[in-house]
Structure 1
Amino acid sequence: MAKIGVFVIDDSAVVRQVVSEVLTADPGIELIGSAMDPLFALDKMAQRWPDVIVLDIEMPRMDGLTFLRKIMAERPTPVVICSSLTEKGAETTIEALAAGAIGIVCKPGIGVRRFLMQDAAVELVQAVKAASHARMRRITPAHAVAPKLSADAVLSPPSSGALTQTTERLVAIGTSTGGTQALEQVLTALPRTSPGIVVVQHMPEKFTASFAARLNGLCQIEVREAVNRDRVMPGRALIAPGGQHLLVRRSGAQYYVEVVDGPLVSRHRPSVDVLFRSVAKQAGRNAMGIIMTGMGDDGAHGLKEMRDAGATTLAQDEASCIVYGMPREAVKLDAVDRVVSLRSVASEIARFG
């Protein structure tokens, strides 16, 4: 198979060097160039356009967000944002995801070489490979891998006696690559009377609060980053905090969430499998599970557990996915009642409630 051609744009020579070393260590990736800012990059990329761009946000002459919007309007290309772990950086990165970026890799203000070479190396390679599979649409303004754990690492499997003595309904959504744009399309279309919603979107910590705040400003329903013991209630969507698992619990007839630490599950934290398993155990047939665009298989087994517990289960169709990975794996497992287009998801949720 042909290697993935990657171009790195960052005003830090250290970051360019380290990112290049990490990427070229993988036999499936080829570094085709790097540049200190987007204007230099455009000249170089004219000779050979990359399959994936790794892009900084704050740069001289042209910032990364302006550049991103330019190429998404003119020549849509998968972009992985390499962003700083600051509140301002998080807000700008959320704007970049809305503008069409595929993924995020964080970098600290200090110790960037050690962080990228050790802590974030696998994450960076995986983000580039996931982005290379993305189906882009025009938008107008070798490292050791940890063992892949299942949801058993956080939560025991559901029994056949899932709680069903309540009529209160909830919707659980799991998504990854391309999910920020898909979630915006779904949640902005929902009325205030929609059932309570819990969401896992694969995203690093410090970014989910900004992402939820942005959606809250666009939606009729309330959207916020989940806090421990938040009620799951009609007209509210709770998004799992980056770096922590989200579980649904029951108290009488009411649902609430628990935010917990724990190991990576299906190589993610938060994990869709963990959320879906908790919903299978606590809500059973009173729940709807929806798996949307994303790379890998996180959520497929959890969705099957939800279906086995009597829940209604949906998967986003291939045509409307940026990456048809997670939905495909769920379909393979016979975890899905119906496959629906992205534009139909909001109406399915409203009808379920």
Structure 2
Amino acid sequence: MQKLVLIGASTGGPGHIKKLLHDIKIGSNTILIAQHMNKLFLPSFASQLERETGVTSELLSQRSLLKSGCIYVCDQNFELTDALPLSAKPSEAVTTYSPNVDLLFHSGVKILKNIKTMAILLTGIGDDGAKGLNELQKAGAKCLAESEESAIVYGMPKRALELNPNIKSLSLMSIKKELEEFLNVF
């Protein structure tokens, strides 16, 4: 079964995402990232990820089938579709933060019956991603929130844990270990 990793981040996220995905072996799985960032800088971020991880990384800018073995960086609000094969489409929702983590995470709930999913909420100001992570965890996805120990800004993960204390809180390097295990378990 194909696996999907959803990652949401804001302030401090680009550096943490690079550390998290450095030397990662994603195999036939897919990673989809919602990083709060000005749209002008997202293409460069996707290129940096590819150079630093050695994994094909693409900017997601239109409705697309999500290929296995690829990292995608959302350039706007995106939602997963509930149809197989795995695909994502731009969302018309108007949100404070873009790309919006809650929208992406919430849309992941409907694919859990077909795609084994892990969601990771990293460092960031505010609460984007907290509600979506809560919904994913309650629906059976493996959910992790970055701990205060390693977060540059402990806003988003803190809010997720306030909503749902059952979400696992880990340092960035411990999240990396969990991610590697998730991607390599058959």
What's the TM-score once normalised by structure 2's chain length? 0.90
3-state secondary structure, aligned to 2:86: strand
Could you tell me how far 1:194 is from its partner in structure 2?
6.3
1:42 is matched with: none
Whichever of the two has the greater Rg, that structure is 1
Higher relative contact order, structure no. (Cα contacts within 8 Å, ≥ 6 residues apart): 2
1:263 is matched with: 94
Deviations 1:156-196 (A, max 9, x none): xxxxxxxxxxx322011110000011011011231141621
Q: Quick one: distance in 2 between partners of 1:300 and 1:282?
A: 19
Could you tell me how far 1:337 is from its partner in structure 2?
3.0
Could you tell me how far 1:234 is from its partner in structure 2?
3.3
Q: Quick one: distance in 1 between partners of 2:74 and 2:160?
A: 21
List, as ranges, runs of 4+ consecutive aligned residues in structure 1 with deviation greater than 4 Å: none
Q: Do the aligned partners of 2:61 and 2:90 also contact (CA within 8 Å) in 1?
A: yes
1:37 is matched with: none
- Identify if the C-alpha distance between structure 1 residues 234 and 347 changes in structure 2 by more than 3 Å, giving closer, same or farther: farther
For structure 2, the 5+ residue unaligned runs are none
Q: Quick one: distance in 1 between partners of 2:180 and 2:5?
A: 10
3-state secondary structure, aligned to 1:189: coil
Pairing 1:291–2:115 present: no
- Identify if the C-alpha distance between structure 1 residues 174 and 288 changes in structure 2 by more than 3 Å, giving closer, same or farther: same
Letter matched to residue 263 of structure 1: V
Q: CA RMSD in A?
A: 1.7
2:110 is matched with: 281
Alignment of 1:179-190 (within 5 A): 179-190=13-24
1:311 is matched with: 141
2:68 is matched with: 234
Q: Quick one: distance in 2 between partners of 1:289 and 1:335?
A: 15
Q: Do the aligned partners of 2:57 and 2:73 also contact (CA within 8 Å) in 1?
A: yes
For structure 1, the 5+ residue unaligned runs are 1-166
Q: Do the aligned partners of 2:2 and 2:28 also contact (CA within 8 Å) in 1?
A: no
Pairing 1:208–2:42 present: yes
1:352 is matched with: 182
3-state secondary structure, aligned to 1:328: helix
Letter matched to residue 215 of structure 1: L
What's the TM-score once normalised by structure 1's chain length? 0.49
